[in-house]
Amino acid sequence: MSLEIFWFCLIAVLWGGYFLLEGFDFGVGILLPFLPRNERERSTMLETIGPVWDGNEVWLVVAGGATFAAFPAWYATMFSGFYLALLLVLVLLIVRVVSFEWREKSDHPRWRATWRWANTVGSVGAPFVWGVALANLVHGVPLNSDGDYSGNVLDLFSVYTVLAGIATVALFALHGAAFLTLRTRGDLHARAVAATRRLAIPVALVVGAVLAWTVAVGVDRNEKDVFPPILPAALGGAALVLAVVFAMRKRSGWAFVTTGLAALLWVATIFTALYPRLLVSHPSFSNSLTISGAAAAHYALSVITVVAAILTPVVLLYQGWTYHVFRARLGGEALVTEPVEAMEDRTASTPTG
């Protein structure tokens, strides 16, 4: 395997890791206005992701950095063509990050409600834009002969790309609900289980349709055979079916695993349908960016490969440790303990035979 192909695969893995881990973070934010019944439960929901959400963002940062280092031409074209969309994502992510901190600055109901909805807007908007952006890689955007974007922001939106954005939001909502069934207890846990069951079938249908459509778009726009894109799409469909089964049977752990697999396989379908190109040009297919044409020099790829080999295990170990430390369930009724003095008084007054 050449270094160019290795880095293409690694970037796909990084996006898959981002969708897997940040997906349930976004899902919790999407469900924030609907599942909890009071401020205490809202705080509990945010506490489930509080220790990990910022670490999950690392996958996005590394994916962007890897794209810049390994495929500078791809990076340049995307950041020029998708400039407004990426700027919107940045604003949404900033609003979401700020909401975690500023929500705690006041107990006033209006203040809390404002930042609760800010978190939800960011949690809905960012995945929607990511779904649209990744779908456009396969669907194609107008590029000129120099590989520069020659369209406008409206060219990024079609029926397929918008549906891909909606499917991403829906999948993350299901993934987040499944996550909450593992991290909460009491009434909040029961509502999370119910939400997982209600969302499972419609989400499976929407995401399954987008997976099939992605294969069709890859065959049409990228001039590919049905295989291999059909493989991750079929596996993604199977994961969605299993997610429905496990959700209906209240097998929370397996429901979370299968929704996570569906997120990974959605990214795998995109990149498999895209290979050997990085960005499809439409209608001028000959202007498409290819892996070999957009890659950095061999020496640069060699250096960043060494850096990745050293730092990647450190990041994985740190994140694994974080999830292990913060694995306990949250929420439920607080334990009420009887004062020792009252117990002693009652014991003293109890008649003995």
- Span 231-273, pLDDT tens digits: 999 999 999 999 999 999 999 999 999 999 999 999 999 999 9
Pairing verdict, β 277-279 and 289-290: antiparallel
| 119 and 99 Cβ atoms separated by less than 8 Å | yes
CA distance 81 to 140: 12
CA distance 341 to 226: 75
pLDDT at 332: 53
Q: For the chain, how long is the longest CA-to-CA vector?
A: 100
Q: How confident is the model at residue 188 (pLDDT cuts 50, 70, 90)?
A: very high
pLDDT at 327: 78
Write the pLDDT tens digit of every residue in 192-231. 999 999 999 999 999 999 999 999 998 887 777 778 889 9
| 304 and 66 Cβ atoms separated by less than 8 Å | yes
Question: In terms of Cα–Cα distance, which of 89, 237, 200 is closest to 192?
Answer: 200
Question: Tokens representing 126?
Answer: 């960012």
Q: Is the pLDDT of residue 352 over 60?
A: no
Question: Tokens representing 34?
Answer: 């609907």
Question: In terms of Cα–Cα distance, which of 309, 286, 274, 313 is closest to 71?
Answer: 274
CA distance 130 to 162: 11
Question: Tokens representing 57?
Answer: 């963002």
Q: Is the pLDDT of residue 123 over 60?
A: yes
86: left (phi over 0), alpha (psi -120 to 50) or beta: alpha
pLDDT at 7: 96
| 55 and 319 Cβ atoms separated by less than 8 Å | yes
